[in-house]
């Protein structure tokens, strides 16, 4: 969605999920003058005119990813004003790599009163190609700078770039509009700038984290699940760890996986790493699974410094987890038991829902404002698989998932 700022025409994006974050990003695009129309999973964006270069503070502070629009807006207009995205529950995610990269491309950037002010002096307001090295393979910085470089003068090389499938998908999206990007998915991305980009009709990739979460839901409940559409290559580290635990994963078709349950789940060790390592976004759901595995497991979270808070909530369900620094020691227990718990972030909320599926009695998970940011009606999909899960409002009335971005119900009972 941020990439549509680069286009001077219409963009059609298919396979767009119903997420709170998508709704918020849509509000950011609309506030800057783009026209949006959505029908089902198809989003049409008229990006012919950007009416302002200043993004509204109250929207950007709700959605960290909206800051990534600074790259394409600056590339298109030669000026951009973007509020800093603020803190994050899972740890610090500074924007210094974004800023230094834009400065390397000729932008003057100043941060005052919580606003990042960027403009390109001279050169008709166009950024210039540059050689950029990222201290860490940040997904956000890689995507921001890659987008900015598509309309820059000359060639830009990003070294130590993030290699996640989402970076590749964004590069393919930009290329479908006429960009010249090579090397996405490797640690070196080369972009040759072009004068302008054109309209496109593009289908985004399936969500590998949602797919992994559903596979774990099958594993923890000893259930056979057929999952489609997926990209198996995007799930290699997740599949490998599930197989190590004892679960069988069969590739039924190029875009379809079947999980076969295991009678006994074995303890394993996990270290989160940037792609192609084990994804940090799967750490919390896997911790839920390991609470009922036989033996002692060790999880080392090396990507974010504050991403083990769900351990305390899993312990409320009867898990045996000790946390020391960024490492969790998980001793498997025979059974979890239902209890009221609170999701502290997006993936933590999903982990608690998964744990609740396997727990005896009723588990009530609060914090669905986190869950709905990154899962498209997860409760309904689990219902279709036979889960006894309902949404409840603060007044404990059953309600449907609110997919329109309004205030979501307070909790889900499993």
Kindly list the catalytic residues: 88
Say how many Å lie between the first and final Cα of the chain, rounded. Answer: 34
Helix (H, G, I), strand (E, B) or coil at 252: strand
DSSP state of 184: B
Distances (CA, A) of 59 to 13, 54, 89: 22, 11, 17
Question: 133 is written with which tokens?
Answer: 């090295």
What is the C-alpha separation between 36 and 292, in angstroms, rounded?
45
Q: Give 292-361 as a DSSP string.
A: TSBSEEEEE--S-TT--THHHHHHHTT-EEEEETTEEEEE--S--B--EEE--SHHHHHHHHHHHHHSBS
**Partners of 278 in beta bridges:** 272
Instruction: Tabulate helix, strand, coil % of the chain (nearest 5).
Output: 35, 25, 40
The residue whose two tokens read 């609170």 is 342
Q: Is the dihedral of CA 363, 366, 371, 377 positive or negative?
A: positive
Q: Please list the alpha-helical segments (H only) found in 108-200.
A: 139-149, 165-176
DSSP bridge partners of 256 = 253
* C-alpha–C-alpha distance, residues 319 and 332, integer Å: 7
């Amino acid at each position: 969605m941020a990439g549509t700022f680069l286009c001077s025409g219409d963009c059609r994006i298919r396979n767009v999920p119903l997420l709170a974050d998508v709704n918020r990003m849509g509000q950011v695009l609309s506030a800057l003058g783009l026209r949006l129309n959505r029908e089902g999973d198809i989003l049409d964006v008229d990006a012919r005119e950007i009416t302002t270069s200043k993004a509204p503070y109250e929207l950007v502070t709700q959605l960290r990813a909206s800051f990534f629009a600074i790259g394409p807006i600056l590339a298109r207009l030669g000026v951009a004003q973007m509020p800093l995205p603020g803190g994050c529950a899972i740890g610090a995610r500074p924007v210094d790599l974004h800023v230094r990269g834009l400065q390397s491309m000729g932008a003057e950037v100043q941060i005052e009163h919580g606003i990042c002010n960027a403009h390109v002096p001279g050169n008709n307001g166009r950024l210039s190609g540059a050689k950029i090295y990222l201290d860490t393979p940040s997904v956000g910085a890689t995507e921001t700078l890659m987008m900015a470089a598509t309309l820059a003068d000359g060639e830009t090389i990003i070294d130590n770039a993030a290699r996640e499938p989402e970076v590749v998908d964004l590069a393919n999206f930009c290329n479908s509009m006429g960009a010249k990007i090579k090397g996405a998915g490797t640690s070196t991305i080369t972009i040759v700038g072009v004068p302008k980009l054109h309209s496109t009709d593009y289908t985004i990739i399936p969500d590998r984290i949602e797919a992994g979460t559903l596979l774990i839901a099958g594993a923890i409940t000893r259930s056979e699940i057929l999952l489609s559409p997926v990209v198996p290559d995007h799930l290699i580290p997740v599949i490998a760890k599930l197989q190590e635990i004892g679960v069988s994963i069969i590739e039924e078709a190029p875009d379809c996986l079947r999980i076969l349950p295991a009678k006994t789940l074995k303890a394993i060790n996990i270290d989160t790493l940037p792609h192609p390592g084990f994804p940090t976004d799967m750490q919390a759901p896997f911790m839920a699974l390991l609470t009922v595995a036989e033996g002692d497991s060790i999880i080392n979270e090396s990507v974010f410094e504050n991403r083990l808070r769900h351990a305390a909530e899993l312990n409320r369900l009867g898990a045996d987890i000790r946390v020391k620094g960024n490492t969790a020691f998980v001793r498997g227990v025979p059974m979890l038991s239902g209890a009221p718990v609170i999701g502290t972030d997006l993936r933590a909320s999903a982990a608690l829902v998964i744990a609740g599926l396997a727990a005896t009695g009723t588990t009530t998970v609060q914090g669905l404002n986190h869950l709905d940011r990154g899962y498209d009606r997860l409760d309904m999909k689990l219902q279709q698989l036979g889960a006894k899960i309902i949404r409840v409002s603060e007044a404990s009335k059953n309600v449907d998932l609110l997919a329109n971005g309004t205030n979501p119900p307070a909790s889900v009972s499993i």
